[in-house]
Amino acid sequence: WIGAGSPKPIARAARHGAWYAGPDLTEARAPEALALFRDECELAGTEPRALVRKDVIVLRDHDRATELGDDLITRGYRGMPREAVVYGGVDAAVEQLAPFREIGFDEVVVRCMTVAQADALETLELMGEVRDRLR
């Protein structure tokens, strides 16, 4: 997997057919970036495989997850805008991740946002439900 977020590195990833899209890729930018990757894979003669990484908080208590996520974003979480991260309850996470599946990303890799260990463990548990609903 080759991590890339701009045209030249995406073309480099395409030569290997394996693109790791970083967590700052938003739903709005994803279709154009994925189309570029696929076009470059065709030129390189490689089979396109693309995954996107997302920073997440998914809790049973949607409001609490939203409060935690909003607070982290307000404090400048990794310089990412709100639309680049995923947080809320299971339904919200499915809604926020579905567009990436629909446009053709093969996988989503998640990293828990900076939260207490109990919240991180709950997030990982609930991401199993999110995964099942996105299949």
What is the pTM (predicted TM-score) of this model? 0.92
pLDDT (tens digit per residue) in 6-24: 999 999 999 999 999 999 9
pLDDT (tens digit per residue) in 55-80: 999 999 999 999 999 999 999 999 99
pLDDT (tens digit per residue) in 42-61: 999 999 999 999 999 999 99
Domains and CATH numbers, the chain: 2-134 (3.20.20.30)
pLDDT for 1: 83
- Picking from 122, 68, 59, 118, the residue whose alpha carbon sits closest to that of residue 93 is 59
Dist CA 46 CA 79 (whole Å)? 33
Dist CA 5 CA 23 (whole Å)? 9
Dist CA 135 CA 24 (whole Å)? 23
pLDDT for 58: 99
Dist CA 108 CA 113 (whole Å)? 15
